[in-house]
Amino acid sequence: MSAPSAALQRLRLRTELRKARTAARLTQRQVAAKMEWSPSKLIRIEAGEVGISVNDLRPLLDAYGIRDRRKIEELLDLARGSRKMPYTEYRDLYSKEFLQFLALESSASIVRAYNSLQVPGPLQTEEYGRAIMRAYEKGIDDEVVERAIEVRLSRQETLTSGDREIFYILDESVVRRQVGGRGIMRAQLERLAELAALPNVSIQILPFSVGAHPGIQGPFTLFEFAADEMPDTLYLENPRGDSYSTNAPEESGRYLERFWELEDLAIKERNVDMLRMLAARAEEGVDELERLLSPVEAA
């Protein structure tokens, strides 16, 4: 990627600040007392939830005993570049955890995701997205829906930019479920076929015929970054909307192996053709889809 995004710079800065505090053998409470901050301020900075001004960063680095001018300038540059995070104007719409997810997604050089229930946001058409959101919450405000659609459309830019690789595995139920009606589903399947044809995008279908598999435990997303110092990050979300993210190597490594297992089980050939055929016959009913998928699974 040509220039590090604000999100990636904030992620790098928070990692560097944690390392510096640990090297100085200081607790968060001790640092907060030295800086005359509330402990929550430092916690939020180290979590990447908020940025840090240059004026605050200079005395913080001094408290950590960092004297090397080159290192200081490097960290100050990260602070300057990380002030404007993506999607901050939607803080009233999304949780801080999901905003962090969006920041990771916008910064990653490789995205791997498994979805078992619905088409992922960056792959959704506007009509499919509206149908999903109205199914989530009856009587949802139209303005909320349209603002959420804005975010989805913005996220789709990550797919068309050729500087990152995107790998999606979708359970067969995702392409079978008639979200919003047959017309909307046909357009959605056509969109999936278009995206799957892009050179940097892979969309595979995991057929029912594989039976029980590791993905049954739930959807997940893995992010990898071009910057060597940025660890891979795992993101999980449950049906209640609670989310969990970690860059612990043992967890992200375990889920990467799980993703590779699912890739081995998923349909490897003709995914674009299959999606196009599904789209062409989407308005003919579920029975037609079942007959269509059968020869693909047998191939």
Give the pLDDT score at 289.
Answer: 43
Sequence spans of domains, the chain: 6-81, 91-298
User: pTM of the full predicted structure?
Assistant: 0.77
Give the pLDDT score at 293.
Answer: 55
Give the pLDDT score at 75.
Answer: 92
Cross-sheet strand order for the sheet of 220-224: 201-206, 165-171, 110-115, 220-224, 233-237, 243-246
Q: Which residues of 94-132 are buried (b: 16+ CB within 10 A; e: fewer)?
A: beeebbbbbbbbbbbeebbbbbbebbbbbbbbbbbbbbb
| CATH fit for domain 91-298, picks 3.30.70, 3.30.870, 3.90.1720, 1.10.3470 | 3.30.870
List, for residues 105-132, the tens digit of each pLDDT value: 888 889 999 999 999 999 999 999 999 9
Give the pLDDT score at 1.
Answer: 39
| Segments of the chain with pLDDT less than 70 | 1-4, 162, 228-229, 238-242, 284-299
Give the pLDDT score at 217.
Answer: 86
CATH code of 6-81, in short, is 1.10.260.40
Give the pLDDT score at 298.
Answer: 43
Give the pLDDT score at 288.
Answer: 47
Give the pLDDT score at 106.
Answer: 84
